[in-house]
């Protein structure tokens, strides 16, 4: 019988392909299969094609997933590999996140051309970022800095930095590491002061829920602690909207059966901020995240959330 090839869908950027290759390598090791048992299939997404506007203006996180999800539904691919932080909190009916790979460093990285640290930047320095969360956190810590919208994949942003368009930029440490560019980092940002996006650093796998064969094949590469952390963080997001229009940060840390969560919401200008911390059992991960989201909503009040619209 000929071998049935597993079709792995991914965005076409260098980072996305690195994540798809990592997924394939883990599956090869888990099942003792050769490389040609898997086909990596790059698919262009709207988020990749639209580079001249902030995501919040053109549809948010779903722009990075829709075309891949269409390919899941019509059978062109068997699984889709994503950066977890790009995933909307609500998925189309019939699809689910069936696995998370072991999380890499979730922190944000500062890459400075004019100064090696965020604190060391001169007054009026220009920082490039397309993330509303990073923009709000920068404004909170350094209101004297100018921020410009900075779209593009990792090499594109670094080329803009090297070309002098900005004095510094911020990127996910995990993405730089997976792209072989960790050497460009000049400062790792403290997650207590500069918390990451929920899901940052974790690769997730999306598939159709009616395909038991695929679920069984993917199960051995699922990392349980990462899945628990992401259940909490995505629960927090689900209560707080969790689109690209909202400056939300959150990080759950797992130690055995203990979960520690720190979440934050900010106004886009960074002037108002609300934080929350929760501790509990990993068995209650999603509940902890949702309750933290509800508590921070109550603390901030409706007026705070109206400012995001």
The domains of the chain are located at 1-101+202-222, 108-188, 224-309
Cβ neighbours of residue 105 closer than 8 Å, sequence gap 6 or more? 173, 174, 177, 188, 201
Q: 108-188 and 224-309 share one CATH topology?
A: no
Residue 64 confidence (pLDDT) above 80: no
CATH code of the region 1-101+202-222: 3.40.190.10
Yes or no: domain 108-188 corresponds to CATH 3.40.190.10: yes
Active-site amino acid positions: 86
Between 34-48, 58-72, 286-300, the lowest mean confidence (pLDDT) is in: 58-72
User: Whole-model pTM?
Assistant: 0.91
Structural tokens at position 17: 């392909």
Q: Mean per-residue pLDDT for 161-168?
A: 96
Residue 135 confidence (pLDDT) above 90: yes
Q: How confident is the model at residue 174 (pLDDT cuts 50, 70, 90)?
A: very high
pLDDT of residue 231: 98
H or E stretch including 189?
A: none
**CA dist., res. 147 & res. 138, Å (int):** 8
Residues 212-258: tens digit of each pLDDT: 999 999 999 999 999 999 999 999 999 997 555 679 999 999 999 99
Burial 205-218 (b: 16+ CB within 10 A, else e): bbbbeebeebbebb
pLDDT of residue 1: 38
User: For the chain, what percentages of helix, strand and coil (3-state, to nearest 5) are there?
Assistant: 40, 25, 35
Q: Mean per-residue pLDDT for 300-305?
A: 80
Residue 44 confidence (pLDDT) above 90: no
Residue percentage of the chain with pLDDT more than 90 = 81
Yes or no: domain 224-309 corresponds to CATH 3.30.160.40: yes
Print the SS3 string covering 207-255: EECCCHHHHHHHHHHCCHHHHHHHHHHHHHHHHCCCCCCCCEEEEEEEE
Work out the number of other CB atoms within 10 angstroms of the CB of residue 114: 15
Task: Give residue for tokens 């829920």.
Answer: 209
Work out the number of other CB atoms within 10 angstroms of the CB of residue 137: 26
């Amino acid at each position: 019988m000929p071998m049935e090839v597993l079709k792995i869908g991914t965005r076409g950027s260098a980072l996305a392909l690195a994540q798809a290759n990592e997924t394939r390598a883990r599956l090869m090791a888990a099942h003792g299969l050769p490389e040609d048992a898997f086909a990596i299939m790059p698919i262009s997404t709207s988020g990749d094609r639209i580079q001249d506007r902030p995501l919040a203006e053109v549809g948010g996180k779903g722009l990075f997933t829709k075309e891949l999800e269409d390919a899941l539904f019509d059978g062109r691919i068997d699984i889709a590999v994503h950066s977890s932080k790009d995933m909307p909190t609500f998925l189309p009916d019939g699809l689910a996140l069936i696995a998370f790979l072991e999380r890499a460093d979730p922190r944000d990285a500062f890459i400075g051309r004019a100064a090696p640290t965020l604190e060391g930047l001169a007054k009026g320095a220009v920082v490039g970022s397309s993330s509303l969360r990073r923009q709000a956190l920068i404004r909170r810590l350094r209101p004297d800095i100018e921020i410009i919208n900075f779209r593009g994949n990792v090499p594109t942003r670094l080329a803009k930095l090297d070309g002098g368009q900005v004095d510094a930029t911020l990127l996910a440490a995990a993405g730089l590491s997976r792209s072989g560019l960790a050497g460009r980092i000049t400062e790792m940002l403290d997650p207590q002061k500069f918390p990451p996006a929920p899901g940052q650093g974790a690769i997730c796998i999306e598939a159709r829920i009616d395909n038991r064969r695929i679920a069984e094949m993917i199960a051995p590469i699922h990392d349980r602690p990462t899945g628990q952390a992401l259940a909490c963080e995505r629960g927090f997001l689900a209560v707080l909207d969790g689109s690209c229009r909202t400056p939300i940060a959150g990080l759950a840390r797992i130690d055995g059966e203990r979960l520690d969560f720190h979440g934050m919401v900010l106004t886009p200008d960074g002037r108002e901020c609300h934080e929350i911390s929760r501790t509990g059992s990993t068995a209650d991960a999603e509940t902890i995240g949702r309750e933290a989201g509800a508590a921070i909503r109550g603390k901030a009040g409706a007026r705070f959330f109206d400012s995001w619209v």
